[in-house]
Amino acid sequence: MLPPMVHVGIGYDVHALVEGRKLILGGVVVPHDKGLEGHSDADVLMHAVCDAVLGALGEADIGHFFPNTDPRWQGAPSRLFLNEASRLVSFREGKIVNVDATLVAQQPKLSPYIHQMKVNMASALGVNISQIGVKATTNERLGFIGREEGMAAMAVAAVELP
């Protein structure tokens, strides 16, 4: 029998900023004058993490499992997507080793909210907070993120599989 092997997945997501929506990042409502546009709660951070975990499993992306054409996911909290990704890891008799993610946003300053984002994602994935890394950076006023037209997130996940 082969020893367990660590599989790595990468996730990326981007959403436009729009008036009239709450800004939800890592399951935290962040005070801001705009929120992210999307079918679900548009949590760009959780979406990138979900794609990273799914990628480590060799699965399709978040849109395959939770299509934006399905009314069941209208306004859904992205925590549900992480719950499902974690369930798929368990189904494969694997375990999430760690997740590391970076939010890219010009404004608002996100450092006061990062700990709670980590708590929320660890809970949704069923792992210890020490297994979750979250960082935030700006885009140095360059491009659509720098012009505050949207936000992006990237993530990597390591999953041990038998």
Q: Which residue stretches of the chain are H helix? A: 44-56, 62-65, 79-91, 114-125, 143-146
What is the distance, to the nearest Å, from the Cα of residue 5 to the centroid of all Cα atoms in its chain?
23
Q: What is the mean pLDDT of residues 101-112?
A: 98
Q: What is the mean pLDDT of residues 95-108?
A: 98
> How is the chain split into domains, by residue range?
5-161
Most distant CA pair in the chain, distance? 55
Query: For residue 95, is pLDDT > 90?
Result: yes
Query: For residue 1, is pLDDT > 90?
Result: no
Question: Is 127 within 8 Å of 85 (Cβ atoms)?
Answer: no
CATH number, span 5-161 = 3.30.1330.50
pLDDT at residue 97, as a whole number? 98
In the three-class reduction of DSSP (H, G, I as helix; E, B as strand; rest coil), residue 78 is classed as: coil
pLDDT band, residue 2 (cuts 50/70/90): confident
Find tokens 């660890």 and name the residue.
Answer: 122
In the three-class reduction of DSSP (H, G, I as helix; E, B as strand; rest coil), residue 112 is classed as: helix
**Alpha-carbon distances, residue 120 vs 12, 17, 41, 98, 140 (angstroms):** 19, 22, 15, 14, 28
Q: What is the pTM of this model?
A: 0.96
Question: Is 129 within 8 Å of 96 (Cβ atoms)?
Answer: no
**Alpha-carbon distances, residue 76 vs 27, 38, 66, 71, 139 (angstroms):** 11, 10, 10, 9, 28
Give CA–CA dist 79/144, Å, rounded.
27
